Amino acid sequence: MKCEQVRTMLEDHHDGELEEPLAAEVTAHLRDCPKCGSELAKLEREARLYEAYAAKTESALEPPPDLWQRALESPGTVLRPVAYDNRPVGWTRWLSALVPASSWARQAVAAMLLVAISITCTLIIGEHYRAKKIASLEETSTTADTSEEKSLETALKSIQRAEQEYLTAIRELSAIVEKQKTSLDPRVVAELQTSIRLIDEHIAATRKAYYAHPKDAELALYMLAAYSRKVELLQDLTS
């Protein structure tokens, strides 16, 4: 491969956008060509500069605590890509499946779930920023403690609200499943009962753990995830 060719692909190579075997050819050329190698080194140096800038900006841009508070109280509630990316795979499928459903009951459930999901996301966000805030305020005074307690109180209320929303959704979906039960294969019904029993055990265990440590947001998320799994299972049966 010639230098001119390599130069046109250098940025893509640096960005990891070159496909094989092209990437390997460019790598081989760079190993043997000091001039092209030095061009790549320039790109790498720039990249480090930008990385440092991005890191600096990111850390300086910690949203003020009341941004999430305000959003929590607004009809829009907060979502965050990171939080969503970490959610169990498949939730978008059942959520999207819920929304266009024709039955009024399912639409009502969908609305309730939206609230529950958004609360869950808000909790993840809240906890993320709360943890960051604690880290940055460790050495500061009691004024921070008051605001901390307030944010914790809000989080606890949100967890309880989310739990209620999940319970209502489960109740509604269970009623739909119950009506459909007679038309289902007895083996499916048996499997459903086993699955439901296992999930219920999981819910009970996580619930017990959470209520023993109500300030632990991670346990709250495990509990809400268990509820979410039950909703998912019931939704699969009703769709």
Partner 1 sequence: MAFIYHLLGDRAHAEELTQETFFRAFRGLARMQVGAKLSTWLFGIARNVVREAIRDKRRNYHEVGLEETASRTVPDERAGPDECFMSAELQRTIRRSLGDLSDDQRAVFVLKVLNKMRYQEISLITGSSIGKLKTDLHRARQHMRQRLQPYLVGQVPGR
The residues binding partner 1 (CB under 8 A) are 11-12, 15, 17, 42, 45-64, 67, 70-71, 74-82, 84-85, 92-93, 95-97, 99-100, 110, 114, 118, 136
Q: Is 184 helix (H, G, I), strand (E, B) or coil?
A: coil
Beta carbon of residue 51, minimum distance to partner 1 (angstroms, whole number): 7
CA distance 33 to 10: 13
Round to whole Å and give the CA distance between 113 and 107.
10
Distance of closest approach, residue 223 Cβ to partner 1, in angstroms? 22
11 or 201, CB closer to partner 1? 11
Which residue lies nearer to partner 1 by CB, 27 or 136?
A: 136
Q: Which is nearer to partner 1, 92 or 194 (CB)?
A: 92
Nearer to partner 1, 62 or 218 (CB): 62
Closer to partner 1 at the Cβ: 75 or 186? Answer: 75
**Contact present, 91 and 99 (Cβ < 8 Å):** no
Q: How far is the CB of 195 from partner 1 (least distance, A)?
A: 24
With H, G, I as helix, E, B as strand and everything else as coil, classify residue 27.
Answer: helix
Q: Which is nearer to partner 1, 80 or 202 (CB)?
A: 80
Residues for the chain: how many in total? 239
CA–CA distance, 34 with 39 (Å, rounded to integer): 9
Q: Are 112 and 231 in contact (CB under 8 A)?
A: no
Q: What is the spatial distance between Cα 25 and Cα 30, in angstroms, rounded to a whole number? A: 9
**Distance of closest approach, residue 7 Cβ to partner 1, in angstroms:** 11
Residues 33 and 3 sit within 8 Å (Cβ to Cβ):
yes
Residue 152 is which amino acid?
A: L
CB of 62 to partner 1, least distance (A): 6
Minimum distance from CB of 81 to partner 1 (Å)? Answer: 3
Half-sphere exposure (CA, 13 Å, Cβ side) for 2? 2
Residue 189 near residue 181, CB atoms below 8 Å: yes
